[in-house]
Chains A and B, each alone.
Chain A
């Protein structure tokens, strides 16, 4: 999945350099996907020869995201979307995605407080914690809710963040789906509820991304000259 994202990354990076608003948003979303993936790798993967590469990716993707998001011209990107942009549909998807993530992860976390039972993902992985809980509940869910809120209010940053979360959800859904497929091929058990959630996330995230970005021009300047 990451190799596919890298192929798309080269194309949208080149188009973003030329000033395409659509490519600029997708490029930032792909950086978000890489930041999420390699933050997890740096903090949670077993120590291996690629550790320093994970650290470098953690550092450079966070730096590029901060520089990129603070450097883009949100009103110009907002103006690149047409009047028929499906704000309500995308906002509804983002809120449903946030709700599903909360149900999935709180369903594992809350029993610890009520019954003293460790989350199944921690028991299965044998790790002290699960970085996915941290990044999803601490970053993705708040960003999804905030972007839905701002998108419904037709605020420029709503379009930027919604594009960011949509790309992130599509790429992450596809990545988790491919990881599940590889785990099944290796003879490991897969959680049916989680697998169905990843299929839904991948399909809905990709569809919503095409729908949303289909209403964004590719030729307008992304930032003032």
Chain B
């Protein structure tokens, strides 16, 4: 499918956005404990 350039930019950004949002919501729950563990280790 040939999308216009600006739509391609938005489509290209989306996987990164979804990955970041996964980190900030679900996976992000584990980040503080990982961070603390890394600091004390």
A, B assembled together = yes
Q: Which residues from chain A sit less than 8 Å from chain B, CB to CB?
A: 2-3, 5-6, 9-10, 13, 16-19, 27, 31, 34, 38, 41, 48-50, 53-54, 56-57, 60-61, 63-65, 67-68, 70-73, 221-225
C-alpha spacing A16/B11, complex, angstroms? 8
Q: Is B7 on the interface with A (CB-CB < 8 A)?
A: yes
Q: Which chain A residues lie closer than 8 Å to B18 at the CB level? A: 6, 9-10, 13
Q: Mark B2-36, 1 if CB is under 8 A from A, else 0.
A: 11111111110111111011111110100110010
Contact of A57 among B6, B10, B17 (CB under 8 A): B17
A75 to chain B, nearest CB (A): 13
CB pairs A–B below 8 angstroms (17 shown): A3-B25, A6-B18, A17-B1, A17-B11, A18-B1, A27-B14, A31-B10, A31-B14, A34-B17, A48-B32, A50-B31, A54-B24, A63-B13, A68-B6, A68-B10, A71-B10, A223-B3
Known: A2-B25, A6-B21, A49-B32. A67 touches B13 (CB 8 A): yes
> How many residue-residue contacts, CB under 8 A, span A and B?
96
Q: A56-B20, A64-B13 are in contact. List 11 more A-B contacts (CB 8 A).
A: A3-B25, A5-B21, A31-B10, A34-B17, A53-B23, A60-B17, A61-B17, A65-B10, A71-B9, A73-B4, A222-B7
Chain B: interface size category: 20 to 34
Q: Is the CB of B22 within 8 A of A53?
A: no
Known: A13-B15, A60-B17. A67 touches B22 (CB 8 A): no
Q: Is the CB of B28 within 8 A of A53?
A: yes
A contacts with B: majority SS: helix
B19 to chain A, nearest CB (A): 9
Q: Which residues from chain B sit less than 8 Å from chain A, CB to CB?
A: 1-11, 13-18, 20-26, 28, 31-32, 35
C-alpha spacing A16/B1, complex, angstroms? 10
B contacts with A: majority SS: helix
A77 to chain B, nearest CB (A): 12
Q: Which chain A residues lie closer than 8 Å to B3 at the CB level? A: 17, 19, 71, 222-223
Q: Is the CB of B14 within 8 A of A9?
A: yes
Nearest residue, chain A, Cβ from B31? A49
**Which 6 pairs between the two chains have the least Cβ-Cβ distance?**
A71-B6, A71-B7, A68-B10, A2-B25, A67-B10, A67-B9
Q: Is the CB of B1 within 8 A of A2?
A: no
A74 to chain B, nearest CB (A): 12
Q: Is the CB of A60 within 8 A of B16?
A: yes
C-alpha spacing A223/B1, complex, angstroms? 9
